[in-house]
A and B are shown apart, each in its own frame.
Chain A
Amino acid sequence: MRGVLATARHWGRQGLRRLLSSELELLRSAPIRDAGHGYDLFGLEPERVALMLALLGQLHRRYFRVRAHGVELLPTRGPAILASNHSGTLPFDATMLWTDVLLRRGRIPRAVADFFVAGMPFVGTLFTRCGMVGGTPGNLRALLESGEWVLLFPEGVPGIAKPIWKRYQLQEWREGHAELALRHRVPVVPVALIGAEEQMPLIGHLHKLGSLLGVPYVPIPLTPFPLPVRYHIHYGEPLVLHEGLHPEDADDPEVVKRAASRVRAAVQALLDRGLRQRQGLFR
């Protein structure tokens, strides 16, 4: 019985590899630090990344029809922090940005999620296999030191939970990304996501049900599925926040605040420009 299962698993894996050959080929150049059994220290698994890329790639191409602007501004090597606006009721914006960076640059951005995500069964594990990490300074330090790209949404949950009438208005902008950038001397790439803010208008939150389920709230969207809006992803010029500063300046709250404000202003400017250029919600 065990032999049959092992053979079935082997053949299943071979078949999957054949199906995902182009995605796996793309990942071949991605810097993945295998900890010995096909996973990195945080649980990323290239095969699962390839599978998700194949699935999300369809959404990226056919459903949200993502257009990227300024891809050439993404650093060619070394660690970086990608800081973006966050919206859309469900995190399709994060998955589209993850897919876009992977498809266009062949690097796996390590999305930073709120702690409750890791505590969600199945979802937490799936995201972890695709490179998600919990947003603790220790995790992010380790990733940046090993040259990874960290994908952050400084608005956090309030960003994704904002009502439709607050679209494209950045919510409270957290400062952790700026502190990280200063301490580890890495550039911050501002990113603006246009389209996600209208994909799934939110009409309410169920906070009590959310706390029972271990999440901040359960959203009540106007539509059961996201609308097929066109996504425009605008990558900005990398900001070298640490220029003229020392790593220990990351302990100065004023310095960190100023640095975070620079990132916020850069994201807002990209949003404004992107909205001006957009010809319609679905175009």
Chain B
Amino acid sequence: MSEGATTGAVRHRPPRGVLLLGATTPLGRSLCAELLADPSIQAVLAVALESWEEAKLPADPRLTYQQVDLTRPRRMHRLLFGAARDLGVDVLVHIAMHRAYESGARVHAQNVEALRWILTLSERHPTLRRLVFRSSVEVYRVQENLPTLITEDHPLDFSTEAPQWVRDRVEADVLACMRMGMSPVEVAVLRCSELLAPGSGSQLHDYLSAPFCLRSAGFDPMLNVLSLEDATRAFLLAIRAGGTQGIFNIPGADTLPLAECIRRSGRHSVPLPGPLLAPAYRLRRRFAGSQFSYRIYRGRFHFAAILDGTRAREVLGYVPQHPLQWPVGP
């Protein structure tokens, strides 16, 4: 599935202009600041749903902000063939997945259809040369007879029982991968470990926000979590890695068991028989308004799933360097 990636040192090619979809996510803000800190980048076109006042992005003459709803194809077309073309944007970074645990056509449109339009439009775009898409560890299937250390060719979770949250992510990932080598635009898919940062849509972060964290008795699988600093660095490397495309696992610097993760977050670990967890977390979501879904995490609450970052290291030069500061903020 991954194709075109080269081994050895990558030719780092600074982009002229970057279009950043999802600029108001924690990763988006961090990326925006880093891109603006690079004087070789002439323009950053930041896009999000919020107004400019709500977006609170740094004021910079090279930064253009647009409030665009990605579920509207006409607006997307106008963005790509308007501001993006005029600013000479050559790299598009898409990190605007729906963060809440919700379902429905609108969520699907943002998670999957928006990417489909982007991929189609980018093929005939006059300036766009590269697309960097944020995928995640949740696309991988986790079960006892699969490797603990997950490489990019690990089976994806095509289970019909998976919630839309997972199915959308798998579909979007596959959609992006399918275009590799078929489109004039280079496509890099970064399958990131769980980004443990507030506001990033992390299921694990929401799980750890409860004072008592329920887990399956008798199981304490290994997890890998990613810090905002490392995620930002991985995206910057992928943005600059012109001439390469493919799928890259992006692991974090923290690999630890779930119980240790709970302890370092200052929470209490409560082991329960596995079958009780799904109803317990359904009740929590219904009555406490939390986002965590046990259905998404069922596999990883029983079996270890650690991303193997060898390919990202060899091709992009990415090595996780920033462990999290425990406990991670609210």
Interface of A toward B, CB cutoff 8 Å: 2, 35-37, 39, 41-43, 115-116, 118-125, 128, 133-134, 136-139, 142
Counting residue pairs across A and B whose Cβ atoms lie within 8 Å, the total is 78
CA of A142 to CA of B254 in the docked complex: distance in angstroms?
A: 18
Interface residues of B in 242-283 (CB under 8 A from A): 253-257, 260, 266, 274
Q: Does B210 contact A (CB under 8 A)?
A: no
Give the total of B residues in contact with A, Cβ under 8 Å.
Answer: 30
A134 touching B254 in the complex, CB below 8 Å, given contacts A39-B222, A41-B149, A142-B308: no
* A and B contact pairs by CB, cutoff 8 A, 8 listed: A41-B149, A115-B144, A116-B144, A119-B302, A121-B219, A125-B218, A133-B148, A138-B148
Q: Does B2 contact A (CB under 8 A)?
A: no
CA of A136 to CA of B146 in the docked complex: distance in angstroms?
A: 6
Q: Are B149 and A138 in contact (CB under 8 A)?
A: yes
B259 to chain A, nearest CB (A): 9
Q: Are B145 and A37 in contact (CB under 8 A)?
A: no
Contact residues in A for B221 (Cβ distance below 8 Å): 43
Contact residues in A for B148 (Cβ distance below 8 Å): 41-43, 133-134, 136, 138-139
Contact residues in B for A35 (Cβ distance below 8 Å): 255-256
Q: Does B217 contact A (CB under 8 A)?
A: yes
Q: Does B290 contact A (CB under 8 A)?
A: no
Residue in B149, B254, B260, B266 whose CB lies within 8 Å of A139: B149
Q: Are A42 and B253 in contact (CB under 8 A)?
A: no
A118 touching B144 in the complex, CB below 8 Å, given contacts A43-B222, A125-B218: yes
Contact residues in B for A119 (Cβ distance below 8 Å): 144, 302-303
Contact residues in A for B257 (Cβ distance below 8 Å): 39, 43
Q: Are A37 and B255 in contact (CB under 8 A)?
A: yes
A142 touching B256 in the complex, CB below 8 Å, given contacts A43-B304, A116-B144, A124-B219: no
Q: Are B149 and A36 in contact (CB under 8 A)?
A: no
Q: Are B144 and A42 in contact (CB under 8 A)?
A: no
Contact residues in B for A42 (Cβ distance below 8 Å): 148-149, 222, 304
CA of A136 to CA of B220 in the docked complex: distance in angstroms?
A: 20
CA of A134 to CA of B150 in the docked complex: distance in angstroms?
A: 13
Q: Does B226 contact A (CB under 8 A)?
A: no
B33 to chain A, nearest CB (A): 27
CA of A137 to CA of B149 in the docked complex: distance in angstroms?
A: 10
A146 to chain B, nearest CB (A): 11
Q: Are A136 and B304 in contact (CB under 8 A)?
A: no
Q: Which 7 A-B pairs have the closest CB atoms?
A: A121-B218, A138-B147, A35-B255, A37-B256, A115-B145, A122-B218, A136-B147
Q: Are B149 and A142 in contact (CB under 8 A)?
A: yes
